[in-house]
Structure 1
Amino acid sequence: MHRLTVVLASTRPGRTGPVIADWFLDQARGHPDFEAQLVDLAEIGLPLLDEPEHPIQRRYRHEHTRRWSAIVDASDAFVLVTPEYNYGIPAALKNAVDYLYWEWAHKPVGFVSYGMASAGQHAVAMLRQVLTPLRMTPVTPTVAIPLRDLVDEQGALHPKDWMGSAAEGMLAELAGHAPALAGLREAGRAADAAAG
């Protein structure tokens, strides 16, 4: 079984993200290949990148970085639950990504986005560009949630059948990639140990 970390990317007060992340977490916990956990960046509370050394060195000075590193390092796959802010990703998510380097490598990542007209798809396009150089593997199926149609004035999510189908497709791709990429990570660790 693989560890899937669902990252709630918005830290804004009054955010819609928690109801969407909770819905997706229920979908993920029903998948036989994954042990799913939710990580909320608002609770992680990373300050604006404050490590003096490049993350490629993995010489972290701060406890908050070591905690975040341990979470990401122990994960086999990710799903990022993200809004779209001004055609891009939340600053808190970019900050969290930039704290680390090796911990992201050779891991598959999926996206649950939400927003108005584009349902967050501009943010997903940006994330694909940001994550690929870290040697992550973004999967093609996504869940893109139009807020006007599916979240009411009280903030409740009213999921449609297509959302469950989209989530199932994404989880299937993540489950297919996770074991192959785990092999790449193991090969890299073995090479590092032999070199050291």
Structure 2
Amino acid sequence: MSQRILVFYGSYRSDRMGIRLADFIVAGLRTRGDDAELIDAKAVGLPMLDRMYKEYAPGTAPAAMEALAGKIKSADAFVFVTGEYNWGMQPGLKNLTDHFLEEWFWRPAAIASYSAGRLSGARSNSAWHGTLSEMGMVVISSTLTVGPISQTLDEKGEPTGDAGRSLARAFPRFADDLAWWTEAAKAQRLRKAPPY
């Protein structure tokens, strides 16, 4: 069964390496038959958070925010692709995410992290887990951690070398875990309305 999955990526840097991982995940989900779409925070271009989507009167939110709110509300699941900046989260992805709240509720989320070094963004990955849970998502236990990113995926998002082969082996379990929770959450929402 095809699921609607949004893959969020948040680097604003000019020489972005993590886009390789985002492209790899979108391609992998599409190969499995899912309707996967990349949401690039830099391309969306929301301002630094002033008002959340819900704080605008209906029909008055900026067009990019309104369009993204609709996509989030209609999605079945989410994947957050995040780099690690000084042991923390990417500010671009966090800023985009914070513009919304109820739109995220009652859907599963998966985290894929990366870095230029061998720790693969693991600290950012861990930080996102609590944040996404607080925002009403069920965060799956499977994660992808990729590093060094430049030795794992080429410019087209294709696995390369031993690290790339390891990522290719890890992806099916990650995607299977997300699919299971996506189907479970979707079935529950159909069976019983969320409590709030």
Shift of 1:15: 1.0
Moved more, 63-72 or 149-158: 149-158
How far apart are 1:183 and its partner, in Å? Answer: 3.7
The aligned residue for residue 166 of structure 1 is 170
The residue number in structure 1 matching 2:120 is 119
1:10 aligns with 2:14: no
Measure, in 2, the Cα distance between the counterparts of 1:103 and 1:22.
24
Name the Cα RMSD after superposition. Answer: 2.7
Where in structure 1 do 4 or more consecutive aligned residues deviate above 6 Å?
152-156
Shift of 1:40: 1.0
| SS of corresponding position for 1:82 | strand
TM norm structure 1: 0.84
Identity %: 24
| Counterpart for residue 184 of structure 2 | 180
Contact 2:20 2:153 in 1 (8 A): no
Secondary structure at the aligned position of 1:128 is classed as helix
Distance 1:135 1:57, change over 3 A: farther
Would the alpha carbon gap of residues 155 and 125 (structure 1) be closer, same or farther in structure 2, given more than 3 Å must change? same
Q: Name the residue aligned to 1:47.
A: 47
Q: TM-score, normalised by structure 2?
A: 0.84
- The secondary structure found in structure 2 opposite 1:68 is helix
Q: Say how many residue pairs are matched.
A: 189
CA distance 1:37–1:152, change in 2 (3 Å)? closer
Q: Please say if 1:142 is aligned against 2:155.
A: no
Structure 2: stretches of 5+ with no match in the other structure: none
Checking the alignment, whether the CA contact within 8 Å between 1:112 and 1:142 is kept in structure 2 is yes
